[in-house]
Amino acid sequence: MAWFIKHETFTTETLALPMAKRRPHLDAHRAWVQQESKAGRRIHSGFLVDEQQRPGGGGLLIFEAESYAEALAWVQQDPMIQADLVSWTLQEWIPVSGDGWP
């Protein structure tokens, strides 16, 4: 299994939406991540903040998949991507040092 990282940022159009319009999509994304985790996928999800803890830097989804093709097919099921609310990239991550995580 390999590790992959999806980095996403809201599109300009999404940023223009009031939070009340964005909230259902954010909730759907969180529910999808929880469902996938409960189904056994190794996954870590979170959003990026600045030095004052203000969001806006986008989000990261770190997960395992058998191949890039599988990772791409799976990540395209993310409700935020399906609703076309984010710009995103997908890259394989090859850890070379650290404390044993992941």
List, in order of start, the domains of the chain with CATH numbers.
2-93 (3.30.70.1060)
Q: 98 and 37 in contact (C-beta within 8 Å)?
A: no
Q: What are the phi and psi torsion angles at 71 (to 5°)?
A: -60, -45
Residue 101: what pLDDT?
66
Q: Is the pTM of this model over 0.85?
A: yes
Classify residue 40 by its DSSP letter: T
Residues of the chain with pLDDT > 70, as a percent, come to: 97
Q: pLDDT tens digit string along 20-37?
A: 998 999 999 999 999 999
Q: 57 and 49 in contact (C-beta within 8 Å)?
A: yes
Helix extents (H) in 1-102? 12-16, 19-38, 68-75, 79-82
State the Cα–Cα distance between residues 36 and 65, nearest whole angstrom.
12
Q: How confident is the model at residue 98 (pLDDT cuts 50, 70, 90)?
A: confident
Q: 68 and 3 in contact (C-beta within 8 Å)?
A: no
Classify residue 97 by its DSSP letter: S
* Burial classification of residue 43, based on how many CB atoms lie within 10 Å of its CB (0-12 exposed, 13-18 middle, 19 or more buried): middle
Q: How confident is the model at residue 102 (pLDDT cuts 50, 70, 90)?
A: low
